[in-house]
C-alpha cells in the first residue's frame, strides 16, 4: 500500500509534449508539442476545456505565461507573443531558431547558435548581445551565463557584465550545473579534469555571494537540478540523492532514490521530486515521503503556479512505438489516501468504452423502445399518414435535386468528376521526398559560416499520407523532425538526407548537397 493524492486529472495529446506553463492564478495552461502546436486549456471546477490551438511550423521549445500574455518559442522561426486569448501580438524572427527563453523584467532569448538577446515586451531588441553562450539561468537581478569556454558570467538586468568566473584547472573543467541560491547567493557545480588522478578530478560545488566565492565543497554526485527560495535550497544529484543546503553552505542528504533526480520544485509544505516514472512529495518538516504519483513516462518537468497550489508534470517513456504520454494535473494541498500500488496508474489511462458481449443483452427484444424516442418522433410514429407524406415528399425532393445537379454539369465538369472518382478508387500512392535542389553559396568578406533553411515543402504527397519528417546529417545523426530546419554551415561541402514516412510505414528519401565557399574562392 502507498500514499497518493486522490484526485489527478490528465490531458492527452497526440504528439510528444515539449513544454508546459500555467498562469499565476492556476486556471490557464499552455502545452507545446513536438509537432509545432500550442494548446490553450482552461481549468474549471468541472474539468479542463480546450480554448484554442495554435499551429506553428516547427517543434515548440518554450511556452511561458506572463501576466495577461504568453510567449511561444519554436525551433525554427523564433519568438511569438500572444494575448491571453491566443491572438498574435508580434513575432521576433531568429535566423538560427530558438533554444531557450525566460521572462523577468524583460525577455531573454537564446538562439540555436549561442547568441543571447534581450527583448522588450513590445518585441524591440536591446542593443547588447552575448555570443558563444551554451545556456543561462535567471537570478533575482540578472542572469548567469555559461559560455563555450566554460566560463560563468554574471550580468545584471540591464545586460551589463559585472563578474566572470574563469575556468579552473590546468586542462580545464566541466560545469555540471549552476544557478540561483538562497537570498543573493549563487552556485557553480563543477567536475575537474586531470592527466592523473588528483584533486582536480573531484566533483565540487562553489557558492558565491555577490561577486565573491564564499564556499567550496566536494559533493558526492553530479548536480542535475535544483530548487531554491529565500529560506531553503535543495539539490538533486545523478546518484538519486536529495541534498539540503544550509545557511552556512553545509550539505546534508535528506532522501535517497534509486534513480537520478530529474526535476525539483518547492511549495509551502513539500519538496516535489521527479525521478524515474514518479513524482514524490517530501514533507519539508519531517523530510519524509508524504505521497507518490506514478506517471506513464519518465518525469521531465514539474510546473507549479504562483500560489503553489496547482501542479502539472509531464515526460515520455522514450518508446517510439507507444502513444504520447499525458500531462498530469492536480492540487498539491489534497489530503493523501492509502491505496494499492495498482491504483497509481488509474489517472493516466484513457476512458475505454467496452463493447457489450453478453448475447442475452445484445439480442434482447426491446418492447419499450418508444421510451428512447423524442416527443416529435413518438408523434410521427402514431400518425402513419403523416409518415407516408413525409417520406414521399423527402424522396421526391431528393430525386429532383439529383436530376437538377446532373443537368447542371457540363462536359468539362463531367470529365473532372470522372477523373476525381477514378483517382479516389486508385491504390495507395506513397509520398515522394524532395529535399530541395543542390546549392552553392559564397560567403561575404570576413564570414566563416552560413545560415540557411533546409526546406522539404516541395515533397509530393497527393493523398496527405505523411506522418513523420526526418532530416539527417552526413554522419547519420537526426537533426530535426520538422518539414523545415535552419542549419549553420561552415566552409565546405555538406550533405543532408530527408526521410519521409507515410501512414502505412513506407519510407522515401531524398538528398541535398550544400556547398559553402569562402569569399576568396
How many whole angstroms separate alpha carbon 122 and alpha carbon 89?
A: 9
Query: What is the largest distance, in Å, between two alpha-carbon atoms of the chain?
Result: 101
Which is nearest to 498 in space by CA: 514, 506, 510?
510
What's the Cα-to-Cα distance from 96 to each of 99, 108, 203, 366, 464, rounded to whole Å? 9, 15, 34, 67, 29
Which is nearest to 212 in space by CA: 149, 154, 139, 134?
154
How many whole angstroms separate alpha carbon 90 and alpha carbon 83?
A: 10
- φ/ψ (deg, to 5) at 386: -65, -35
Strand boundaries in 251-348, DSSP class E: 251-256, 261-266, 270-275, 278-283, 289-294, 298-304, 310-316, 327-331, 337-339
Query: pTM for the full model?
Result: 0.69
pLDDT one digit per residue (tens) for the chain, 521 residues: 899 999 899 999 989 999 999 999 899 999 999 999 999 999 988 788 999 999 999 999 999 999 999 999 999 999 999 999 999 999 999 999 999 999 998 999 999 999 999 999 999 999 999 999 999 999 988 999 999 998 999 999 899 999 999 888 777 789 999 999 998 899 999 998 765 555 556 899 999 998 899 999 999 999 999 999 989 999 999 999 999 999 999 999 999 999 999 999 999 999 999 999 999 999 999 999 999 999 988 999 999 999 999 999 999 987 766 678 899 999 999 999 998 887 787 777 654 434 445 666 555 665 555 655 656 666 666 665 555 565 566 667 767 776 666 566 566 665 665 566 555 555 778 899 999 999 998 888 778 788 888 999 999 988 888 989 999 888 888 888 888 888 888 888 999 999 999 888 888 999 999 998 988 76
Decide: 19 and 62 in contact? Cβ < 8 Å. yes
CB-based burial of residue 391 (10 Å sphere; 0-12 exposed, 13-18 middle, 19+ buried)? exposed
Q: What is the CATH number of domain 17-129?
A: 2.130.10.10
How many whole angstroms separate alpha carbon 392 and alpha carbon 386?
A: 10
- φ/ψ (deg, to 5) at 139: -115, 175
How many whole angstroms separate alpha carbon 404 and alpha carbon 171?
A: 86
Locate the domains of the chain by residue range: 17-129, 439-517
Q: Cα dihedral sign for 238, 243, 246, 249?
A: negative
Decide: 216 and 206 in contact? Cβ < 8 Å. yes
Burial 295-304 (b: 16+ CB within 10 A, else e): bbbbbbbbbb
Retrieve residue 316's grid coordinates: 515520455
How many whole angstroms separate alpha carbon 140 and alpha carbon 157?
A: 9
Torsion angle defined by CA atoms of residues 296, 301, 305 and 308, in that order, rounded to the nearest 10 degrees: 80
How many whole angstroms separate alpha carbon 204 and alpha carbon 225?
A: 15
DSSP state of 59: -
Per DSSP, the three-state class of 377 is helix
Cell 565573491 belongs to 212
Per DSSP, the three-state class of 457 is coil
Tell me the Cα Rg of the chain. 30
- φ/ψ (deg, to 5) at 250: -80, 140
Retrieve residue 2's grid coordinates: 502507498
* Residue 260 CB contacts under 8 Å (≥ 6 apart), including other chains: 224, 236, 237, 238, 239, 240, 275
DSSP state of 355: P
* Fold held by 439-517: Immunoglobulin-like (2.60.40)
CB-based burial of residue 121 (10 Å sphere; 0-12 exposed, 13-18 middle, 19+ buried)? middle
Amino acid at each position: 500500500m502507498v500514499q497518493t493524492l486522490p484526485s489527478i486529472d490528465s490531458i492527452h495529446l497526440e504528439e510528444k509534449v515539449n513544454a508546459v506553463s500555467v498562469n499565476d492564478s492556476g486556471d490557464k495552461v499552455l502545452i507545446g508539442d513536438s509537432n509545432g502546436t500550442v494548446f490553450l486549456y482552461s481549468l474549471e471546477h468541472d474539468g479542463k476545456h480546450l480554448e484554442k490551438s495554435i499551429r506553428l511550423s516547427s517543434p515548440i521549445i518554450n511556452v511561458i505565461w506572463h501576466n495577461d500574455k504568453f510567449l511561444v518559442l519554436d525551433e525554427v522561426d523564433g519568438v511569438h507573443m500572444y494575448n491571453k486569448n491566443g491572438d498574435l501580438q508580434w513575432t521576433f524572427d531568429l535566423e538560427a531558431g530558438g533554444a531557450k527563453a525566460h521572462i523577468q523584467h524583460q525577455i531573454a532569448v537564446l538562439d540555436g547558435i549561442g547568441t543571447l538577446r534581450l527583448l522588450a515586451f513590445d518585441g524591440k531588441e536591446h542593443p547588447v548581445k552575448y555570443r558563444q553562450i551554451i545556456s543561462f539561468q535567471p537570478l533575482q537581478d540578472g542572469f548567469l551565463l555559461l559560455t563555450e569556454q566554460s566560463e560563468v558570467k554574471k550580468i545584471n538586468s540591464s545586460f551589463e557584465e559585472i563578474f566572470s568566473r574563469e575556468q579552473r584547472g590546468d586542462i580545464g573543467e566541466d560545469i555540471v550545473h549552476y544557478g540561483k541560491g538562497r537570498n543573493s547567493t549563487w552556485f557553480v557545480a563543477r567536475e575537474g579534469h586531470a592527466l592523473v588522478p588528483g584533486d582536480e578530478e573531484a566533483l565540487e560545488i562553489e557558492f558565491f555571494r555577490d561577486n565573491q566565492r564564499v564556499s567550496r565543497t566536494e559533493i558526492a554526485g553530479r548536480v542535475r537540478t535544483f530548487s531554491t527560495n529565500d529560506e531553503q535550497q535543495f539539490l538533486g544529484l545523478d546518484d538519486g540523492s536529495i541534498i539540503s543546503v544550509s545557511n552556512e553552505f553545509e550539505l546534508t542528504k535528506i532522501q535517497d532514490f534509486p534513480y537520478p533526480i530529474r526535476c525539483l520544485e518547492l511549495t509551502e509544505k513539500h519538496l516535489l521530486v521527479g525521478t524515474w516514472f514518479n513524482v514524490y512529495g517530501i514533507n519539508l518538516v519531517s523530510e519524509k515521503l508524504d505521497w507518490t504519483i506514478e506517471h506513464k513516462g519518465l518525469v521531465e518537468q514539474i510546473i507549479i503556479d504562483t500560489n503553489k497550489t496547482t501542479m502539472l508534470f509531464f515526460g515520455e517513456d522514450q518508446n517510439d512505438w507507444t502513444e504520447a504520454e499525458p500531462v498530469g494535473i492536480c492540487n498539491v494541498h489534497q489530503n493523501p489516501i492509502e491505496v494499492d500500488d495498482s491504483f497509481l496508474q488509474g489517472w493516466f489511462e484513457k476512458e475505454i468504452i467496452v463493447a457489450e458481449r453478453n448475447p442475452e443483452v445484445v439480442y434482447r427484444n426491446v418492447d419499450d423502445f418508444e421510451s428512447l424516442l423524442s416527443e416529435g418522433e413518438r408523434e410521427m410514429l402514431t400518425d402513419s399518414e403523416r409518415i407516408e407524406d413525409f417520406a414521399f415528399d423527402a424522396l421526391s425532393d431528393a430525386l429532383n435535386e439529383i436530376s437538377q445537379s446532373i443537368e447542371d454539369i457540363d462536359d468539362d465538369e463531367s470529365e473532372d468528376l470522372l477523373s476525381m472518382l477514378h483517382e479516389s478508387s486508385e491504390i495507395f500512392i506513397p509520398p515522394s521526398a524532395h529535399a530541395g535542389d543542390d546549392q552553392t553559396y559564397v560567403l561575404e568578406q570576413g564570414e566563416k559560416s552560413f545560415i540557411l533553411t533546409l526546406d522539404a515543402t516541395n515533397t509530393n504527397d497527393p493523398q496527405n499520407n505523411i506522418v513523420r519528417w526526418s532530416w539527417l546529417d552526413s554522419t547519420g545523426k537526426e537533426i530535426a523532425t520538422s518539414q523545415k530546419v535552419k542549419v549553420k554551415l561552415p566552409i565546405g561541402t555538406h550533405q543532408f538526407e530527408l526521410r519521409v514516412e507515410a501512414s502505412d510505414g513506407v519510407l522515401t528519401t531524398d538528398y541535398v548537397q550544400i556547398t559553402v565557399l569562402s569569399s576568396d574562392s
